[in-house]
Amino acid sequence: MTSTTTSERTLYNEILEATPHGERLNLCLQCGMCSGICPYGFAMEFPPRSLIAALRAEELTSALDSDLIWLCVSCFACASVCPVQIPLTTSLLTTFKAESMLRGKVPSELQAALENTRRYGNTLGESPRRRPEWASHLSPPVPLMAEAKEPVDVLWFVGDYASYHPRTQVVSRAMARLLRALDVNFGILGPEENSDGDAQLLSGEKGLYEMLVLKNGKAFAKYQFKQVVTTDPHAFNVIKNEYPRAGVTVPIQHYTQFLAERLDQLKPLLHRELNARVAYHDPCALGRANSNNIYDEPRQLLQAIPGLELVEMPHNRANTICCGGGGGGNWLDGFVWEQAHARTSEWRVEEAVRAGAEILAVACPYETPRFEDAVKSTGHQEELIVKDIAELLSEAMRD
Amino acid sequence: MDILVPIKLVPDLVEELEIAANGVALDRRFMRLIPSEQDDHALEEALLLKERHGGSVTVITLDTGDTDDTLYTAIAKGADRAIKVTGESFDEGVTNHAASSVLQAAAKDLTFDLVLTGAQATDDLDGSTGPLLAARLGLPFVGYVLAVSQEDGGIVVRKEYPGGLVAEMAVDLPAVLGISAAEKPPRYVVTSKVMEAMKTATIEEVAASDADAQGAAELARMYLPESGERAEMIEGGVDQVADAMVALFGKRGLLG
Amino acid sequence: MSKDVWVVVESLRGEVLENTYTMLAAGRTLADGLGGKLTALLLGSKAEGLAGTLGVADGVTYVDHPALADFTPDAYRRTISALVKEAAPRAVLMGHSSMGMDVASGISIDLGLPLVSACQTLSATAGFVSVTCGGKVLAEGKLPDPACLITLVPGGHKPQDGRKDTAPAVARVQPPVPLDDLKTKLKGYIEPEAGGIDITKESILVSVGRGIGQQDNLKLAEELAAALGGAVSASRPIVDQGWLPTSRLVGKSGKSVKPRLYLALGISGAPEHHEGMSDAECIVAVNTDEKAPILDYAQYGATVDALKLMPALIARVKQAKGG
């Protein structure tokens, strides 16, 4: 143990102080609800309850020596069911991940994502200059804030995956079409936008998160806009709930909230019939994370599409099954598969098929590629397709 | 062992490269410079040796612009000293011959048993820094090294050859080694430790002596290859491409 | 000013390495253009027989000494430096390789001779063309005079043009300098991992690179390789991560392969990789970066996402093969 790592008692105190209501760790009843609901709790050596027990017994060493803390995908399930409302995800689990990292234990794929963030401001290791390229062939073009001559109403925070990943770029273009159709005065930051920092914060890299807040905060401060709208629930979650603590406060909505408010304007434009059964997957970051509780607006949008039959899956709303991509999870698939031999995204896909859905509707940029992979790995290519709500709305606008 | 790790900053190939107006060099104005990947491995190997046998690790780099992040990161990872050699025209790019000459002069004031540096860098056009420095210092050199161990008062290195064959060589100290891969991938260092290093550590600055710039060829032209004889591109989405490829495989008798 | 060209022969455990023939092909072109002689410089111990395939050269200079039995940087550099100093040829070609790069820089400093490395093409009139920045940039210039050192990479000259199975006249010379008190000594060799797949014997290779993303995705490549009746190989980043053993590495530090089909997925195709597969009969490259160097030398290319393509290919290949 090097001198830079924390002693047992200090770590306990650090966690207590780390987040608001962290002192609630003292209230833990050891009831085990958290370990029970954790999607990968079965494979962890120290699921949340056991971690607290180890903390209290001042036997952190074995907990910290295990690298299975990285099975936590920051889905907030534990925090949402804890009877004494301990903020387990953001305090206990994140701090343990941070300690693990200080001890040099971080899976290599996640390490690459973090190093890419430091160097390029995005987890994919792409050139920052090419961040707005997803929009380059759109006509009319998507306005860059740097080129806007007047204040805009909406600063659209696009996000890493939505900017660079080929599958999610399609969703971004659909969103651009929707904003145009609604005559929204908007702009994007383009190369001035950096990773939102949600995954970096939740995976324990606080210093990196702080660097991102600083950069994004500077970009926000340069321009005049009424609010931020984002297509990324993780960006929504972190900018709404964490950025203010770091000194950056901007009004922010997830795009489903923004569009739901404008349903009167949007609905007449949706004339193409879909004729399919659609199940909506509630993203953790939009719903149970930090009690964001956005469940109705996405459903309102879907039900506005003619011919769309909305079906519900048993695990919905606050009880949703995580896609496995949060808190750094998007870069831990290899590690998780090796340890757990299970994928939550596959559980979700099976549930959608059993609920009779033909389309799995999502509202998060990680989910389209993740669930499409799961559809293939479970062999349901003929039965289920995955679409973002923005894509479905955009397609409903076509002639 | 006291180990010196020279690190070279090289163009990041993630960004588009452009040729400078003079037509014989890269345009460095908007270029991102990053530490050469194999130099990162050299630093990692040095830190592993320090963890095993004690001693110290000193990183040294020429100030080609934007070097501080690399140096503070090295300190945050565990290096003991960071030295930046400043010189007038370094930000226009330095040949390996000139760089090794500058490093040789700077090394006079340093004591070390071992110099570890990357076996090669992506922009090498005149040999590589490691063996050039070794020759200038009059020290033995082995390159393409995958592992270093301390044995019988000296060191033994594993050197890679084509086909996965490895040679074990004993090397007298002091020596210079060209590392192609460390025994473990370069470690991650959390941002807060780098920030801490930026606040508490000092980068020592040394002025460069006059470099002996002889040894690199003069270029008549530097250019980006034309896509002339390019691949026949198969257009379309995944399904069309897959169809076309399977048809191609079939035509070539590859499907049995 | 001399017009002669030297090629330093690279051999490993009794076999001449292929890049020697590439150097001889380049050296022949250069010597003919200059109007000079091509000499192969061979160092070894009881290794005169290795001259048997060096027939493209006009002559072989052979230095025999126990200390030269295997390549070691110190012994080889001393010997080559001294001989070059004495004969002062116009150009000395060495491999841009584990052996050549160990000695070339040292000789440059020893003799004050300019060193041009990563050369792909040499010509008496046009000079040199070198490859840099992962194959994305080319640099050319005149061969420095009156003499220079060159390290050569494959790709510009064909090894077939550098090999002739006859022995030219062999001049045996004594080591020009003492070979005692050597600072680098060979202890032995370690064989690569035995058993498993030999990618050099496969006729179909599904090769994966950085673009494959996560280690998890390797199983798709395995499935595709199995469906095609081939094997999985990889470029350097995959092997460095430990996702596949070095026995699967294609390229300069790995194996040279000549399959009927080389399907490169998410591989950029930098020169070090190209070296290992340039002789493949059919190269099909999939890379989302349309500027990836591999698309310059592959026969067919596509810019779709390899991860999406693999399942689509697997399904169709299985169907085409009837189940």
List chains adjacent to chain B, taking adjacency as at least 3 C-beta pairs closer than 8 Å. Answer: A, C
**Euclidean distance between CA atoms A344 and A327, whole angstroms:** 14
- Residue B168's DSSP bridge partners are B158, C188
The answer to whether the beta carbons of residues A386 and A367 sit under 8 Å apart is: yes
Q: Which residues in chain C are closer than 8 Å to B217, comparing Cβ atoms?
A: 114-116, 128, 141-144, 148
Strand, helix or coil at C314? helix
**Euclidean distance between CA atoms C181 and B177, whole angstroms:** 19
Q: What's the order of all strands across the beta sheet hosting A186-188?
A: A186-188, A152-157, A225-230, A252-254
The answer to whether the beta carbons of residues B127 and C102 sit under 8 Å apart is: no
Number of neighbours of residue A61 by Cβ within 10 angstroms: 11
In sequence order, what DSSP letters do the residues of A51-77 get, joined into one string? HHHHHHTT-HHHHHH--GGGG-----H
Residue whose pair of structure tokens reads 């074995």 in the numeric block: A62
Instruction: Count CA within 13 A, CB hemisphere, residue A36.
Output: 7
| ipTM summary value | 0.91
Which amino acid appears at position B40 of this protein? D
Subunit contact B188:A98, Cβ cutoff 8 A: no
Q: Which residues in chain A are closer than 8 Å to B194, comparing Cβ atoms?
A: 207
Give the residue with greater pLDDT, C256 vs A162. Answer: A162
Tokens representing A315 are 């695990």
Question: For an interface test with C, which of A136, A373, A380, A386 has the most C Cβ atoms less than 10 Å from its Cβ?
Answer: A373
pLDDT given at position C184: 97
Subunit contact B187:A205, Cβ cutoff 8 A: no
CA distance B109 to chain C (A): 22
Number of neighbours of residue B19 by Cβ within 10 angstroms: 15
Q: Which residue, among A359, A358, A106, A363, has the nearest Cα to A260 in the 3D structure?
A: A363
**Euclidean distance between CA atoms C290 and B5, whole angstroms:** 36
**Euclidean distance between CA atoms B19 and B76, whole angstroms:** 35
- The reply to whether C191 touches chain B by the CB within 8 Å rule is yes
pLDDT given at position B256: 67
pLDDT given at position C281: 87
**Euclidean distance between CA atoms A124 and C134, whole angstroms:** 20
For residue A1, pLDDT over 90 is answered with: no
Q: Which of 164-223 (B) contact A at CB < 8 A? A: 185, 187-188, 190-195
pLDDT given at position A26: 86
Subunit contact A108:C241, Cβ cutoff 8 A: yes
Query: How many helices and strands (H and E) does chain B possess?
Result: 6, 13
Residue whose pair of structure tokens reads 């234990």 in the numeric block: A105
**Euclidean distance between CA atoms B197 and B199, whole angstroms:** 5
* Ramachandran bin of A110, using left for φ above 0, alpha for ψ from -120 to 50, beta for the remaining angles: alpha
Residue from the list A108, A167, A333 with its beta carbon closest to the beta carbon of C216: A333
pLDDT, tens digit, 9 for 90 and up, residues C90-121: 999 999 999 999 999 999 999 999 999 999 99
Q: Which residues in chain C are closer than 8 Å to B168, comparing Cβ atoms?
A: 186-190
Arithmetic mean of pLDDT, A15-40: 84
pLDDT, tens digit, 9 for 90 and up, residues B165-206: 899 999 999 999 999 999 998 999 999 999 999 999 999 999
Omega of the bond leading into C168 within 30 degrees of 0 (cis): no
Q: Which residue, among C233, C242, C30, has the nearest Cα to C126 in the 3D structure?
A: C30
Q: Which residues in chain C are closer than 8 Å to B236, comparing Cβ atoms?
A: 304
Q: What is the mean pLDDT of chain A?
A: 91
Residue from the list A108, A333, A376 with its beta carbon closest to the beta carbon of C311: A376
Instruction: Count CA within 13 A, CB hemisphere, residue A64.
Output: 21
Question: For an interface test with A, which of B14, B40, B48, B51 has the most A Cβ atoms less than 10 Å from its Cβ?
Answer: B14
Arithmetic mean of pLDDT, C280-299: 90
Say what the pTM is. Answer: 0.88
Q: Which residues in chain A are closer than 8 Å to C241, comparing Cβ atoms?
A: 108
Query: Searching chain A, which residue's CA lies closest to the CA of residue B77?
Result: A104
Q: Is the dihedral of CA B150, B152, B154, B158 positive or negative?
A: negative
- The reply to whether B152 touches chain C by the CB within 8 Å rule is no
Number of neighbours of residue A58 by Cβ within 10 angstroms: 12
Cβ-Cβ contacts under 8 Å for A216 (sequence gap 6 or more): A193, A194, A196, A197, A243, A248
Q: Which residues in chain A are closer than 8 Å to C216, comparing Cβ atoms?
A: 333-334, 337
Tally the residues of chain B: 256
Type and span of the H or E element at A110: helix A108-120
**Euclidean distance between CA atoms B142 and B158, whole angstroms:** 9
- The reply to whether B196 touches chain C by the CB within 8 Å rule is no
**Euclidean distance between CA atoms C82 and A353, whole angstroms:** 77
Question: For an interface test with B, which of A95, A108, A109, A111 has the most B Cβ atoms less than 10 Å from its Cβ?
Answer: A111
Q: Which residues in chain B are closer than 8 Å to C74, comparing Cβ atoms?
A: 140
Question: For an interface test with B, which of C109, C120, C205 has the most B Cβ atoms less than 10 Å from its Cβ?
Answer: C109
Tokens representing C258 are 């000549």
Subunit contact C216:A376, Cβ cutoff 8 A: no
Residue from the list B14, B15, B191 with its beta carbon closest to the beta carbon of A208: B191
Most confident segment among A59-73, A88-102, A158-172, B110-124: B110-124
Q: What is the mean pLDDT of chain C?
A: 93
The answer to whether the beta carbons of residues A5 and A102 sit under 8 Å apart is: yes
**Euclidean distance between CA atoms C42 and A239, whole angstroms:** 68
Q: What is the mean pLDDT of chain B?
A: 93
Tokens representing B243 are 């169809």
Tokens representing A304 are 């506005």
pLDDT, tens digit, 9 for 90 and up, residues B67-109: 999 999 999 999 999 999 998 878 888 999 999 999 999 999 9
pLDDT given at position A65: 82
CA distance A102 to chain C (A): 21
**Euclidean distance between CA atoms C256 and C244, whole angstroms:** 17
The answer to whether the beta carbons of residues C182 and C306 sit under 8 Å apart is: no
Q: Which residues in chain A are closer than 8 Å to C305, comparing Cβ atoms?
A: 166-167
For residue C213, pLDDT over 90 is answered with: no
Which amino acid appears at position A129 of this protein? R
CA distance C262 to chain B (A): 11
Tokens representing A59 are 């036997």
Name the packing angle between helices A166-181 and A389-397 (round to 10°). Answer: 50
- The reply to whether A18 touches chain B by the CB within 8 Å rule is no
pLDDT given at position A4: 38
For residue B231, pLDDT over 80 is answered with: yes
Q: Which residues of A210-223 are buried (b: 16+ CB within 10 A; e: fewer)?
A: bbbbebbbebbeee
Q: Which residue, among B58, B71, B52, B78, has the nearest Cα to B183 in the 3D structure?
A: B52
pLDDT, tens digit, 9 for 90 and up, residues A69-88: 899 999 999 999 999 999 89
List chains adjacent to chain A, taking adjacency as at least 3 C-beta pairs closer than 8 Å. Answer: B, C
**Helix, strand, coil percentages in chain B from 3-state DSSP, rounded to 5:** 30, 25, 45
**Euclidean distance between CA atoms B135 and B74, whole angstroms:** 26
Tokens representing C279 are 């002789």
Per-residue confidence at C56, pLDDT binned at 50, 70, 90?
Answer: very high
Which amino acid appears at position C197 of this protein? I
Counting residues of chain C whose pLDDT is more than 70, the rounded percentage is 99
Per-residue confidence at B250, pLDDT binned at 50, 70, 90?
Answer: confident
pLDDT, tens digit, 9 for 90 and up, residues B115-145: 999 999 999 999 999 999 999 999 999 999 9
For residue A333, pLDDT over 50 is answered with: yes
**Euclidean distance between CA atoms C43 and C70, whole angstroms:** 9
Q: Is the dihedral of CA C224, C227, C228, C231 positive or negative?
A: positive
- A307 exposure class (CB count in 10 Å sphere: 0-12, 13-18, 19+): exposed
Instruction: Count CA within 13 A, CB hemisphere, residue A208.
Output: 30
Q: Which residues in chain B are closer than 8 Å to C71, comparing Cβ atoms?
A: 167
- The reply to whether B239 touches chain C by the CB within 8 Å rule is yes
Q: Which residues in chain C are closer than 8 Å to B11, comparing Cβ atoms?
A: 133
The answer to whether the beta carbons of residues A194 and A216 sit under 8 Å apart is: yes
Arithmetic mean of pLDDT, A1-11: 54
For residue B227, pLDDT over 70 is answered with: no
> What is the rounded end-to-end Cα distance, in angstroms, of chain C?
69
Arithmetic mean of pLDDT, B227-250: 88
Subunit contact A127:B195, Cβ cutoff 8 A: no
Subunit contact B252:C260, Cβ cutoff 8 A: yes
* Ramachandran bin of A76, using left for φ above 0, alpha for ψ from -120 to 50, beta for the remaining angles: left
Arithmetic mean of pLDDT, C132-149: 93
Q: Which of 217-276 (C) contact A at CB < 8 A? A: 241
Contact residues, chain A to chain C, C-beta under 8 Å: 108-109, 166-167, 331, 333-334, 337, 373, 376
Which amino acid appears at position A312 of this protein? E
**Euclidean distance between CA atoms B189 and B197, whole angstroms:** 11
Subunit contact B14:A125, Cβ cutoff 8 A: yes
pLDDT given at position A399: 76
Most confident segment among A97-106, B154-163, C166-175: C166-175
